[in-house]
Amino acid sequence: MFTLKEILNLGLPLVLDGGVLLLALAGTLVGMFIGAMPGLTGVMAMSILIPLTYTMSPTEAFALLLPTYVASTYGGSISAILLNIPGTGAAIMTTLDGHPMALRGEAGRALGLSCTYSFIGGIVSGLFLAFLAPILALWAIKLGSREFFAVAVFGLGIIAYISPSILKGLLAGSIGLLLATVGMDPISGYSRFLFGRAELTGGLEFVAVMIGLFGVGEIMFVFAKGVVERPRVQREIGLTLPNLKDLIKTIPTTIRSIIVGLFVGIIPASGPTIASVTAYGLEKRVGKRRDLLGTGIAEGLSAAETANNAATGAAIVPMIALGIPGDAVTAILIGAFMLHGLRPGPAMFISNPDIISGIFILFMLGNVLFFIIGLFGAKWFAKILDTPQKILLPIVTVFCFIGTYAVRTSMFDVFVAVVFGFIGLLMRRAGIPIAPMILGFILGPIVEDNLRRSLIIGGGNVLTFLERPVSAVLLVLTILLILSPSILSVLVKKKIKVNIHD
């Protein structure tokens, strides 16, 4: 649908603006800072930033948000290497080889390699995004309400499946779907779950819910556990420019990790963390120096950092082409689209091709910016890691409330954010994942609208979903996915019985 020339012709005039470039730089710095700070997450950063984009153009908004996303994914490796504390979930595997390097006095080498591998993975995933998203959107234009319902349900099924407990994942997703029904029924016009509050007529404000769950809830959780002062970082950090010899000898690992990152990233509900764990696990099985993994070798950094950033662009593909968020970050990006009166999906490639092209370019720009800043400014970010949490967290809390209020200048939204902050705290303590809930909230209108349209088309017959191949296959896969633990348990028991009898 888009050629490279068309992307540049449409997107460059929007991106090559002084204000847009400054916002991209600001987003990169914020993303690296938040990603590097243990206790803060990229999801939290984007939750806080979205309200600030309310008065911006869509291009300016994504100039701030996309670099924040990619830079925070890399930023988590800074504290993982220097403190052995991953700043983000995506940097968990980076600690295994990055920190041993730092203990040997090779912190600069580790930071340089981490930044370079992240850049390589991010750039490849950006090209993947620009190539595959238009193709997927072209296919999606042919889909009807039954297929979109099945795709949305399949996305919820996957995120429930990869949750620590499928039942808890399903519970969280179901609560999200229920929250999406608050407000006026779009078809009948009846009011639902207003509880006498006129502010709920249009439904719960997405930004308030999101900031409450991911921002306020996370801060409450940190304070509930008790603020722990982190060890001081290594002060002397040597040259961070990567060694060419390291990059050449890890080419096979880098290629494998790119493939894993792209494949895992495009699967709904996966994302950078799972991509990093999968790539490191693969390297542990097939790598030439697999026995040395965990002792501080370049292959370990390549597997972890290339994969997690390769997953970033791939994760945006289903969101931008189908309008289906794959994880918490892409759900937040959909919130940014909605805030600016846009609806991601195949229709945007026809109605707003300039914005889509700008998004492709801004994603690539974010990777270039964090690469440059990461190589030459890592030592400064290392000093920032000494900021005490007891100072940082109250400042973030204030930004949460200011951002929530700014969207509609409504104190009711601030109250909603506080309520969902407590809900987020309780969910974390109970081990209930939050991502399925926010995805259910985002997908709720898609599920409800397409379910009702499909039933109208099928005359009320639920078997109408099995009349279309795509919807039938996706719904069957969803059922098998949810029941797979029980099926595997039964098969294992039968195998044990057979072995006993033999």
What are the pLDDT digits (tens) for 51-90? 888 889 999 999 999 999 999 888 888 888 887 777 777 7
Confidence of residue 254 (pLDDT cuts 50, 70, 90): very high
Kindly give, in sequence order, each residue whose CB lies less than 8 Å from that of residue 247, ignoring residues fewer than 6 positions away. 113, 116, 254
Distance CA 49, CA 65 (A): 7
Mean pLDDT of 196-223: 84
Cα dihedral 68→73→78→81 (10° resolution): 180
Q: What pLDDT does residue 489 have? A: 73
Please answer whether residues 23 and 365 qualify as being in contact, where contact means their C-beta atoms are separated by less than 8 angstroms.
Answer: no
Q: What pLDDT does residue 396 have? A: 78
Q: What is the mean pLDDT of the chain?
A: 83
Q: What pLDDT does residue 338 have? A: 83
Task: Please give the share of the chain, as a percent, with pLDDT higher than 70.
Answer: 90
DSSP 215-245: IIHHHHHHHHH---PPPPPPS-----SPPHH
Distance CA 415, CA 60 (A): 29
Secondary structure class of 191 (helix, strand, coil): strand
In which region does residue 299 sit, left (phi positive, over 0), alpha (psi from -120 to 50) or beta (all else)? alpha
Q: What pLDDT does residue 371 have? A: 93
Distance CA 467, CA 472 (A): 7
CA distances from 172 to 89, 141, 437, 449, 450 (A): 20, 30, 5, 20, 21
CA distances from 118 to 91, 131, 374, 436 (A): 11, 20, 10, 27
Q: What pLDDT does residue 275 have? A: 84
Kindly give, in sequence order, each residue whose CB lies less than 8 Å from that of residue 494, ignoring residues fewer than 6 positions away. none
- Higher-confidence residue of 78 and 231: namely 78
- Higher-confidence residue of 6 and 234: namely 6
Q: What pLDDT does residue 182 have? A: 92
Confidence of residue 405 (pLDDT cuts 50, 70, 90): confident
Q: What pLDDT does residue 449 have? A: 86
Lowest mean pLDDT among 9-13, 326-330, 429-433, 479-483: 326-330
Q: What pLDDT does residue 382 have? A: 67
Q: What pLDDT does residue 333 have? A: 86
Confidence check: pLDDT of 162 > 90: no
Tens digits of residue pLDDT in 284-296: 888 888 888 888 8
Tens digits of residue pLDDT in 318-329: 888 887 776 678
Mean pLDDT of 123-152: 84
Distance CA 428, CA 225 (A): 11
Confidence check: pLDDT of 28 > 60: yes
Mean pLDDT of 121-126: 92
Centre a 10 Å sphere on the Cβ of residue 330 and count the other Cβ atoms it contains: 25
pTM: 0.78
Confidence check: pLDDT of 232 > 60: no
Burial degree of 499 (CB within 10 A; 0-12, 13-18, 19+): exposed
Distance CA 333, CA 406 (A): 18
Instruction: Report DSSP state, residue 192.
Output: E
- Higher-confidence residue of 9 and 351: namely 351
Confidence check: pLDDT of 172 > 70: yes
Confidence of residue 497 (pLDDT cuts 50, 70, 90): low
Q: What pLDDT does residue 502 have? A: 57
Distance CA 37, CA 77 (A): 10
Distance CA 154, CA 494 (A): 29
Centre a 10 Å sphere on the Cβ of residue 105 and count the other Cβ atoms it contains: 12
Secondary structure class of 19 (helix, strand, coil): helix
Confidence of residue 229 (pLDDT cuts 50, 70, 90): low
Name the residue with tokens 């006993």. 500
Confidence check: pLDDT of 500 > 70: no
